[in-house]
Amino acid sequence: MKITEYISGLRENIHLAREQGKIIVLIPTMGHLHYGHLSMVENARKDDGDREKVYIIMSIFVNPLQFGENEDFDRYPRNLVRDSRLAQEAGVDMLFVPSVQEMYPDGQSLTTINVSRISEILCGSKRPGHFQGVATIVNKLFNIVLPDIAYFGQKDYQQFIVINKMVKDLNILVQLIAFPTVREQDGLAMSSRNSYLSSEERQQAPIIYQSLREGAVLITEGETDPDVIITTIKDRISKGSKGKIEYVEVRNAHNLERFEKIEGTVVISLAVWFGSTRLIDNILLEA
């Protein structure tokens, strides 16, 4: 595996891979890798054990544009030595680890990407500017790498919908893959922020997925009132943990619009605080 912090070095290696006829795969991350990230690498590498077909690029960049005031940019976990080892063992070909200066040479980006409406609801309503930062850095990575395929975790479902809309609206030639959420044995979605949890918070956090599943069961059994689902999930979390609920929503999975009556493809999503740690999760199903 090669490692570079420079756009020029990355592009040189991509050029060589394209000359060899390889498919370029991009897996953007903010580091502190876990098995959810590594599973994407394994999936991209399947049926290519000899590395003749696919060239996998993983980026590690903690993007300041997507962190608001008083958020955890400075304390976000960083361990490049550990991440490099895990990426190499998983089968990454090129690790791109740019500095903030490399990505934003002027110290800021006067040009940003704003995907309106769907960026302003759910997580976006509580984190103004977050998805603008996400869309901007992902668009930059797409322009730098020009990938054929890009992987994103389904845990960050709203993020995927925002990026998917950006790709369609701007006619970006890339195939997006929403990779299913990878979970711990007790159901907690794998996340770099899980490392912030105290032992007590970690014991309580699985109630997030338990409550989502309870809501999903109600829908599969015929419940069509979103308020019933939302109330059930909130009650389950409030009675079974010390988690502070930020939001629980039942939305159309394709466009994140609200339902008057639940039907079609549904995403139940939520954000819950355990102490100073904000966890998000979701579940997809057919009503």
Residue 184 lies in a domain: no
What confidence score (pLDDT) does residue 285 get?
97
Q: Are residues 145 and 213 located together in one domain of the fold? A: no
Q: Are residues 165 and 275 located together in one domain of the fold? A: no
What confidence score (pLDDT) does residue 259 get?
94
CA distance 152 to 49: 22
What confidence score (pLDDT) does residue 229 get?
98
What confidence score (pLDDT) does residue 160 get?
98
Residue 34 is among the residues annotated as catalytic for this protein: no
The H-assigned helical ranges of 225-266 are 226-240
Strand order in the sheet with 277-286: 244-252, 265-274, 277-286
Annotated catalytic residue: which of 34, 37, 130, 254? 37
What confidence score (pLDDT) does residue 71 get?
87
Q: Which of 179, 212, 227 is the last residue of a domain?
A: 179
What confidence score (pLDDT) does residue 247 get?
98
What confidence score (pLDDT) does residue 36 get?
96
What confidence score (pLDDT) does residue 108 get?
80
What confidence score (pLDDT) does residue 198 get?
97
Residue 152 lies in a domain: yes
CB 65 within 8 A of CB 30: no
Give the pairing of strands 54-60 and 23-29: parallel
Q: Are residues 92 and 36 located together in one domain of the fold? A: yes
What confidence score (pLDDT) does residue 277 get?
96
Q: Are residues 254 and 167 located together in one domain of the fold? A: no
pLDDT per position as a tens digit, 45-104: 998 988 999 999 999 999 999 998 878 888 898 999 999 999 999 999 999 999 999 999
Report the domain count for the chain.
2
Question: Which domain, by its residues, includes 172?
Answer: 2-179
What confidence score (pLDDT) does residue 75 get?
84
> Which parts of the chain sit beneath pLDDT 70?
none
Residue 186 lies in a domain: no
Residue 287 lies in a domain: no
